[in-house]
Structure 1
Amino acid sequence: MPWPDPISLHGDHAFLEPLGLARHDEFVEAVQDGELWKLWYTFIPSPEQMKSEIDKRLEQQRKGTMLPFAIVASDTGKAVGMTTYMNIDAEARRVEIGSTWYRKQVQRTAINTECKLMLLTHAFENLNCIAVEFRTHFFNHQSRRAIERLGAKLDGVLRNHRRSSDGTLRDTCVYSIIASEWPTVRSHLRHQLATRGVKSP
């Protein structure tokens, strides 16, 4: 039996639903907002790569290594990005939240904070995870700041961890939140959503 099982998660600003091809055209529209695939320090599929990216994530789901989601804005009902549980370790009960992207229009809004809160809540309170991990490129400063705003702590940097699509070697920053930290992180994220309205810090 795969762990974790596909599930939909609902919030005020957005909801997460199991990834599928039905929203392909919405993903294409979303990724064109800001031409996100041109960012050199991360991989975000281009419009032409979108179907193969969805297929790849669904294949990893079948193998039990990933649980991918579509991020859907509550006000429009349209997909604004993707996120996943990945590098799933069912025996140790650890997951990584990653392979995440949002259309430019909704970046730094409550949608990101709320999606992370939903994913972390499900991981710690329903899946009984002992830790949730986040990884990003050393030079992806926007992502690093966002991860740190969640309350995750830097575990370390994996130097020359992998080769990027442009051939350069990537140093990967590894962050985590452990189960004992979750109650404080949960309060922090709830406070952000309650006091910031539509903008995260």
Structure 2
Amino acid sequence: MWVKSEVLEGEFVVLEPLSEAHVPGLAQAVRDGESWKLWFANVPAPEDMGAYVAAAMAAAADGDIAYAVRAKATDKIVGTTRYYQVDAGNRRAMLGYTWYADAVRRTPINTECKLLLLNNLFESCDAIAVEFRTHFFNLASRAAIERLGAKQDGILRHHMLMKDGSLRDTVIYSIVAGEWPAVKRNLLSKLGRSQSS
């Protein structure tokens, strides 16, 4: 496989390849903020977490790698994220399916998760590009992606049918390999670290 399923560890988080053992922790994490109630987000309700995790694990056959996000300060599972639509031939992957418990929003958790995931793709796997997609109306997600340094590539109108029957316009962003050094410097700066860290 082009991207290996392995633990990624930083100062604040450990990204653990997703397993059934993470279901209780993820069900607890999603209760903090009730993100599944957001009409523009595809976040599972606590009672659907087992099926969500099973589907993520099944997608590993196509090269997807899903992670449970563990906060090192509390040793609790606080969310999930994944590589998906991994395209080894073109050295591209999408990064998404990311959600967190409310308690860790606006903390270093997401910044470090993205640093670990992007660093792995660009420096260990020699990726050409990484793509992000989100709902047009998910303004918090769009702002977070833009804060990373990703550039908007465009909008796919009426791209997906949502679980409530509405049509999603999908905003596409990317970071290409030539941009990674500046993006990395930006993420390290947000975490209070120098380039040599």
Band of TM-score, shorter chain: over 0.9
The TM-score, its normalising length taken from structure 1, stands at 0.94
Superposed, 1:1-201 pairs within 5 Å as: 2-64=1-63, 66-194=64-192
Runs of 4+ in 1 over 3 A off after TM superposition: none
Q: How many residues align?
A: 193
The AA in structure 2 aligned to 1:63 is: D
The TM-score, its normalising length taken from structure 2, stands at 0.96
Taking the aligned partners of 2:85 and 2:2, their CA distance within structure 1 comes to: 11
Percent identity for Structure 1 against Structure 2: 49
Taking the aligned partners of 2:10 and 2:167, their CA distance within structure 1 comes to: 38
Query: 1:62 Cα deviation (Å)?
Result: 2.0
Query: 1:78 Cα deviation (Å)?
Result: 1.3
* Mapped contact 2:156–2:171 kept (Cα < 8 A): yes
The AA in structure 1 aligned to 2:93 is: V
Query: 1:63 Cα deviation (Å)?
Result: 2.8
CA RMSD of aligned residues (A): 0.9
* Mapped contact 2:157–2:168 kept (Cα < 8 A): yes
**Structure 2: 5+ residue stretches without partners:** none
Taking the aligned partners of 1:185 and 1:89, their CA distance within structure 2 comes to: 22
Taking the aligned partners of 1:151 and 1:57, their CA distance within structure 2 comes to: 27
Taking the aligned partners of 1:145 and 1:63, their CA distance within structure 2 comes to: 29
* Mapped contact 2:35–2:41 kept (Cα < 8 A): no
Query: 1:98 Cα deviation (Å)?
Result: 0.4
Taking the aligned partners of 2:137 and 2:35, their CA distance within structure 1 comes to: 16
Taking the aligned partners of 1:109 and 1:96, their CA distance within structure 2 comes to: 23
Counterpart residue number, 1:198: none
1:72-91 CA deviation, whole Å, 9 max, x = no partner? 00011111000000111110
The AA in structure 1 aligned to 2:114 is: K
Counterpart residue number, 1:199: none
The AA in structure 2 aligned to 1:188 is: N
Taking the aligned partners of 2:24 and 2:159, their CA distance within structure 1 comes to: 33
Query: 1:3 Cα deviation (Å)?
Result: 2.8
Taking the aligned partners of 2:165 and 2:67, their CA distance within structure 1 comes to: 28
**Structure 1: 5+ residue stretches without partners:** 196-201
Taking the aligned partners of 1:164 and 1:192, their CA distance within structure 2 comes to: 34
